[in-house]
């Protein structure tokens, strides 16, 4: 079935339950309330974004464990699916979770192209979805949906912060280097808009296909570009290699970017990342009780340092908890659930966050500098930055 606007998935997927409801309401309601809430975790657990997906999943598990395994009084059952960051399998994988596994909630994913496949399915079925990374702008702009929330960022946000910071400093000419897919393109747009607000320009964009890492033909063009900085979007394994090759090429033009370039990758990038400036909604040195507790707990659970991906996963689960607590675990109360999630203002390890009218997270974008293995926060590039939400009607 294909429909234009989201409708209640309760009627579609749980049709069997609804049929008998009129005759046996109290019993059915009691049974529905007692069963665990099934949460699908559709993430990359393999490929260039594997570590990103793992950290999101670990942090979701961590928040649920902190709440005693229950949200809104209901036990939570997680159903994991590896989407391998393959956009061509996105719709089919989302359908497996929603239709075959009958998840009540979907948390996913990392890659913007895969997200668009999920989005098609969850708009049709009305499945409550929380995006814990993928920044595809359309999700909270022209294709926004009342059942879809994002606790990570829009692709526009972090790169916009970087563009603003450079523009304010008087940078006039920049290049943008990235993978040729939604996250790279939309980050480039955010970067360009930020720069242009202060009279700067992106004079050249260089791209290669996702997830290719044959960077040499791009790097070879940089000395001829006559730019003051090179901005870029890469993440995960691709970012590690790009930063190392940029350094090895001996280029004089400083490299900067959307913060994913150095996030969760500094150890592998080593000396090559030293001094790189990026903008992101998280960084090292955010001194708050919440962040310290989060980092300690994440380290204890995983033996890894927390990064932005872990924060986003934790916040996806925090937002779900807020919604479920407001309706006491009653998923049938969609209006109450969504109202509470839309109005949520909560303490994230990244700082205070809230939700915009298009159900996108509103947060500070920090300016960071890579120093001795840390993405040190050196300022705020944009305070409480909301995505414009262009074209969203809810
Ligand atoms: C994306 O595809 O939206 C994305 C992937 C990794 C990091 C950030 C964004």
Write the pLDDT tens digit of every residue in 60-99.
999 999 999 999 999 999 999 999 999 999 999 999 999 9
Nearest-atom index, ligand 1, CA of 85? 2
Q: How many A from CA of 260 to the centre of ligand 1?
A: 8
CATH 3.30.70.360 correct for 9-153+287-355 = no
Q: How many A from CA of 235 to the centre of ligand 1?
A: 7
> What pLDDT shows up at residue 68?
98
Domain with CATH 3.40.50.2300 in the chain: 9-153+287-355, 156-280+368-385
What superfamily would CATH give domain 156-280+368-385?
Response regulator (3.40.50.2300)
Pocket of ligand 1 contains residue 39 by CB under 6 Å: no
CA distances (Å), 24 to each of 13, 21, 36, 157, 385, in order? 19, 5, 20, 49, 49
Pocket of ligand 1 contains residue 312 by CB under 6 Å: no
**Ligand 1: residue whose CA is nearest its atom 5:** 111
- Cβ contact 17:27 at 8 Å: no
**Ligand 1: residue whose CA is nearest its atom 7:** 235
Nearest-atom index, ligand 1, CA of 111? 2
**Ligand 1: residue whose CA is nearest its atom 6:** 235
Q: How many A from CA of 49 to the centre of ligand 1?
A: 9
Q: What are phi and psi of 130, to 5 degrees?
A: -125, 125
Give pLDDT tens digits for 172-189: 999 999 999 999 999 999
Pocket of ligand 1 contains residue 309 by CB under 6 Å: no
- pLDDT tens-digit profile, the chain (394 residues): 222 333 344 444 443 333 344 445 555 656 566 799 999 999 999 999 999 999 999 999 999 999 999 999 999 999 999 999 999 999 999 999 999 999 999 999 999 999 999 999 999 999 999 999 999 999 999 999 999 999 999 999 999 999 999 999 999 999 999 999 999 999 999 999 999 999 999 999 999 999 999 999 999 999 999 999 999 999 999 999 999 999 999 999 999 999 999 999 999 999 999 999 999 999 999 999 999 999 999 999 999 999 999 999 999 999 999 999 999 999 999 999 999 999 999 999 999 999 999 999 999 999 999 999 999 999 999 999 999 999 999 9
Q: How many A from CA of 311 to the centre of ligand 1?
A: 14
> What pLDDT shows up at residue 2?
27
Q: What are phi and psi of 26, to 5 degrees?
A: -60, -40
Q: How many A from CA of 300 to the centre of ligand 1?
A: 26
Helices 308-326 and 289-302, axial angle in degrees (round to 10)? 110
Phi-psi map region of 40: left, alpha, beta (phi>0 left; psi -120 to 50 alpha): beta
Q: How many A from CA of 133 to the centre of ligand 1?
A: 6
Tokens, residue 87: 């956009």
């Amino acid at each position: 079935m294909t429909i234009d606007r989201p409708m209640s998935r309760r009627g579609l997927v749980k049709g069997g339950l609804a049929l008998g409801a009129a005759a046996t309401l109290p019993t059915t309601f009691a049974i529905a309330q007692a069963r665990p809430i099934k949460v699908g975790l559709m993430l990359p657990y393999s490929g260039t974004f594997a570590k990103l997906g793992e950290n999101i999943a670990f942090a979701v598990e961590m928040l649920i464990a902190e709440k005693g395994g229950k949200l809104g009084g209901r036990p939570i059952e997680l159903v994991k699916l590896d989407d391998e960051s393959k956009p061509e399998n996105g719709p089919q994988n989302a359908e497996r979770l929603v239709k075959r596994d009958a998840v009540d909630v979907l948390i996913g994913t990392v890659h913007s192209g895969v997200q668009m496949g999920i989005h098609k399915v969850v708009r049709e079925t009305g499945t409550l979805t929380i995006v814990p990374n993928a920044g595809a702008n359309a999700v909270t702009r022209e294709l926004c949906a009342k059942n879809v929330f994002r606790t990570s960022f829009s692709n526009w946000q972090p790169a916009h912060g970087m563009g603003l910071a450079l523009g304010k400093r008087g940078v006039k000419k920049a290049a943008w280097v990235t993978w040729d897919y939604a996250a790279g393109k939309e980050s480039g747009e955010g970067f360009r808009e930020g720069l242009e607000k202060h009279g700067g320009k992106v004079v050249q964009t260089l791209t290669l296909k996702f997830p290719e890492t044959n960077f040499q033909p791009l790097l070879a063009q940089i000395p001829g570009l006559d730019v003051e900085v090179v901005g870029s979007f890469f993440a995960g394994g691709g970012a590690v290699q790009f930063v190392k090759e940029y350094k090895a090429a001996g280029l004089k033009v400083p490299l900067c970017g959307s913060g994913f370039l150095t996030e969760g990758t500094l150890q592998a990038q080593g000396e090559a990342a030293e001094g790189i400036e990026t903008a992101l909604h998280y960084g090292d040195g955010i001194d708050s009780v919440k962040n310290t507790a989060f980092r300690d707990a994440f380290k204890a659970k995983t033996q890894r340092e927390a990064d932005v991906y872990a924060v986003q996963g934790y916040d996806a689960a925090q937002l779900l908890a807020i919604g479920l607590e407001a309706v006491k675990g009653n998923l049938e109360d969609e209006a109450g659930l969504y109202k509470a999630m839309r109005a949520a203002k909560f303490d994230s390890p990244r700082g205070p966050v809230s939700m915009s009218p298009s159900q996108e997270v509103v947060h500070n974008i920090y300016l960071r500098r890579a120093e001795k293995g840390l993405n040190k926060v050196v300022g705020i590039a944009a305070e409480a930055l909301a995505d414009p939400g262009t074209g969203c009607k809810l």
